[in-house]
Amino acid sequence: MAAVESSVHRRTWMEYIPWLTYGRRLGFTGFFFVLPALIYFTLFAFYPMANAVRLSFFNYNLLSPPRWIGFGNYEFLFGSRQFMESLGTTIIYAFGISVPIWILSMILALMLNQNIRLRTFFRTVFFAPIVMPLVVLAIIWSLLYHPYGPINTVLLAPFINQTIPWLNSNQHALLAVIILAVWRATGYYGVIYLAGLQNIPNEYYEAARLDGANNWQLFRFITFPLLRPTTLFVVVVSIINALRHFDAIWIMTGGGPGDATRILSVLIYETGWIFLRMGRAAAMSVILFLLALAFTVVQMWFFRTQE
């Protein structure tokens, strides 16, 4: 590499340092390029993450200095019924959103991958909700869910003869926010699946058809296995995304009625910024992080053993 240096080359400051060979100099330059990103994430991700762990051992209300209380926050949380219920709600919410999304978005992609007319139209329609601000959708949907709103009076009226108080009832509120989330995200993951489908070479299908495989066998033995990397991505990302949902629930129900939709992210916000218990909120954050990590590791492991 050093041999290619041209004679008209102007020397930069690094070339005056004798132990820096050409390759090392390039390496240094590369390191300088990644430095802004590292500084950025150190300041706004790694350091806060470490600090969350530290804070979770303190009692801190922003006003007086933090006071060390050991595992006090964790002890409180695991004894608190509200927290344990919130943990359960979070898990139901995360799976309630992602499982339907896995199935629906794959079906959607399989259908859009057929040779059909209006494909661009359908793709645009299904992708539309993800580009609309969630706050806007939350407002629209909380009116849709109004007891006299169009979901009851127009969509469901022909089928059930009953007014469902969606957001005001313990039994329906969680379902209502899950429906909104599935409605919004299915098209997005559908497009990701579609990209995965289009990477599968057509020859595989032709060869299998020659061998007399039917449609189900094509899906079972070609499409599904070859989509595994896409599926892993969709599964992991959809669950992690569900864990960070906040906006729609905060606007539509504020965590209620009762504790019906109080998922962890809502509880963290309330504990930290309404009750000013930063240490306790940090402890919840750490548990949320472990939950996210556990989901990810389990899924990675699950998909690895199938190989």
Q: 9-28: which residues touch another protein (CB under 8 A)? A: 9, 12, 23, 26-28
Let me know: does 2 contact 21? Beta carbons within 8 Å.
yes
129 is a site residue for another protein (CB under 8 A): yes
Q: Which of 2, 3, 131, 210 binds another protein (CB under 8 A)?
A: 131
Identify which range of 140-148, 167-175, 225-233, 299-307 contacts another protein by CB under 8 A: 140-148
Amino acid type, 126: F
Sign of CA dihedral 239, 176, 251, 256: negative
Q: How far is the CB of 47 from another protein (least distance, A)?
A: 7
* Residue 307 beta carbon to another protein: minimum distance, rounded to whole angstroms: 21
Smallest distance, another protein to C-beta of residue 117, A: 9
Q: Is the dihedral of CA 234, 239, 240, 245 positive or negative?
A: positive
Please give the residues from 274 up to 293 whose contact with another protein meets the rule CB under 8 A. 278, 281-282, 285-286, 288-289, 292-293
User: In the complex, what is the shortest distance from the CB of residue 170 to another protein, in angstroms, rounded to a whole number?
Assistant: 21
Residues in 208-247 that interact with another protein by CB under 8 A: 236, 240, 243-244, 246-247
92 binds another protein (CB under 8 A): no
Measured in degrees and rounded to the nearest 5, phi and psi for residue 214 equal -90, 180
* Alpha-carbon gap, residue 241 to 238, rounded angstroms: 5
Among positions 33, 159, 216, 301, the unique one binding another protein when judged by CB under 8 A: 33
Is position 38 an interface residue for another protein (rule: CB under 8 A)? yes
Nearer Cβ to another protein (52/101): 52
Q: Using only C-alpha atoms, what is the Rg of the chain?
A: 26
59 phi/psi in degrees, rounded to 5: -100, 120
Q: Which of residues 50-89 bind another protein (CB under 8 A)?
A: 51-52, 55
Given the rule CB under 8 A, which of 71-79, 95-103, 162-170, 260-268 is the region that contacts another protein?
Answer: 260-268
Q: How far is CA 199 from CA 49, 134, 194, in A?
A: 37, 31, 9
Q: Are 97 and 242 in contact (CB under 8 A)?
A: yes
Tokens linked to 128: 């539309």
Question: Which residue from 15, 17, 21, 45 is in contact with another protein, where contact means CB under 8 A?
Answer: 45
**How many DSSP H helices and E strands does the chain contain?**
15, 2
Residue with the two structure tokens 């590499």: 1
Q: Which residues pair with 68 in a beta bridge?
A: 58
Contacts with another protein by CB under 8 A: the residue count is 88
Site for another protein in 103-122 (CB under 8 A): 107-108, 111-112, 114, 116, 122
In whole angstroms, the minimum distance from the beta carbon of 300 to another protein comes to 11
Q: From the list 17, 103, 125, 195, which residue makes contact with another protein (rule: CB under 8 A)?
A: 125
Three-state DSSP class for 262? coil
- Give the Cβ contact number of residue 178 at 10 Å: 20
Check residue 204 for interaction with another protein (CB under 8 A): no
